[in-house]
Amino acid sequence: MNLHEELMERLAHRRSAQLGGLSPAAYAELLLTVRESPSSYVDDPHDQAFMQLVDAVDRVLRSRDDDEFRDDESFMEERTQRMARFGRDCAQALAVAPDSIHARLLRILASDYEPDRQLDELLELDRSVDAELGPMTLPESGDAWTDVFLRGRLRIKAALSRTCLDSARYRMANDYGQALIADSPCDALGARHTCALSLARLEDEEGFEALDARFDRRGDSWQQLGRTILFYKLGRMPAARRALMGFANLCEGGPYALLRPVMVDTYLPDRPAAEPYSFAEVTLAVHEADPVVCDVPDFCAWAEQQANFGDQARIFAERNGFGW
């Protein structure tokens, strides 16, 4: 998600409202002007806090660039310091706007709580925001994402859904994800991905297929992996093998990602963008599926035993200089 562009939209929408509303053409001109000098348009503490958070997230992302060259000890030391700095940045943003939804959410994510504690914190934040602001009213478009000022509330729901999945609360994860999709049918935050994995673990084939159809069956790594897990859990092994073959053939490096999963750092606040079926995407999908895979302990061993799956993983590793 492009937080820089979101900041521009916030500033332009707020100035447009101050001016009594602008025509689409006039708003487009205003947005161009805001992009040239955004700080000139910051006259609300919530926007000031959001700008500080955008800069803080940028610093975190830049500091991750060298992580692949660190050994485990130096990586963990650097990561601990990085998240502590980010937590302080969130506190500074909260000093500017104590009710900033994004600052409150990001401070929770920066704290690196174990999943149960994080879920408690997110639930309390969700309740507090609902009490402060009341029920969320959808804009005329019918999609809350089109209102830039509602996105913080949507991000809380997305974080809740992912944290429920992390803590093996699969039905709750699906419920929060489906509620998020109802509020924002464009699903810019990818709630469908969390739902797909949750429904697979719940062995809910009807729900899984309905979700797939709702998004016009446009595939991705979560759908392919989830479908494989679903059929494996249901004991429909021919279908599971076909789904696994699809996962291996469609997802770049899918076999390697599944058999040699890597750590993916905390989403701040959103899942990183990735091309469908790319290695970057399948790495995210496997990372998010870890609680599900751990609940199905024979799944990876079964996958590795299927024809050519292990060989595909090894060949991908050798071609790309990865360990095997």
Structure confidence at residue 323 (pLDDT): 85
**For 196, how many CA atoms within 13 A lie in the half-sphere containing its CB?**
27
Count of Cβ atoms closer than 10 Å to residue 188 Cβ: 16
Count of Cβ atoms closer than 10 Å to residue 3 Cβ: 19
Q: What is the pTM of this model?
A: 0.95
Cα four-point dihedral sign 18, 23, 26, 31: positive
For tokens 């006259």, the residue is 43
Residues 6+ apart with CB under 8 A from 59: 85, 86, 89
CA separation for the pair 247, 255 (Å, rounded)? 8
CA separation for the pair 193, 279 (Å, rounded)? 16
Using CB atoms within 10 Å of the CB of residue 316, give its burial: 0 to 12 exposed, 13 to 18 middle, 19+ buried.
buried
Residues 6+ apart with CB under 8 A from 250: 219, 224, 277
Residues 6+ apart with CB under 8 A from 282: 221, 225, 251, 252, 253, 254, 257
Structure confidence at residue 79 (pLDDT): 94
Transcribe 9-35 into DSSP letters. HHHHHHHHHHTT---HHHHHHHHHHHH
pLDDT tens per residue across all 324 residues of the chain: 699 999 999 999 999 999 999 999 999 999 999 999 999 999 999 999 999 999 999 999 999 988 777 888 888 999 999 999 999 999 999 999 999 999 999 999 999 999 999 999 999 999 999 999 999 999 999 999 999 999 999 999 999 999 999 999 999 999 999 999 999 999 999 999 999 999 999 999 999 999 999 999 999 999 999 999 999 999 999 999 999 999 999 999 999 999 999 999 999 999 999 999 999 999 999 999 999 999 998 999 999 999 899 999 999 999 999 988
Q: DSSP class of residue 146? A: G
C-beta separation of 259 from 310 below 8 A: yes
Structure confidence at residue 61 (pLDDT): 93
Residues 6+ apart with CB under 8 A from 78: 63, 67, 70
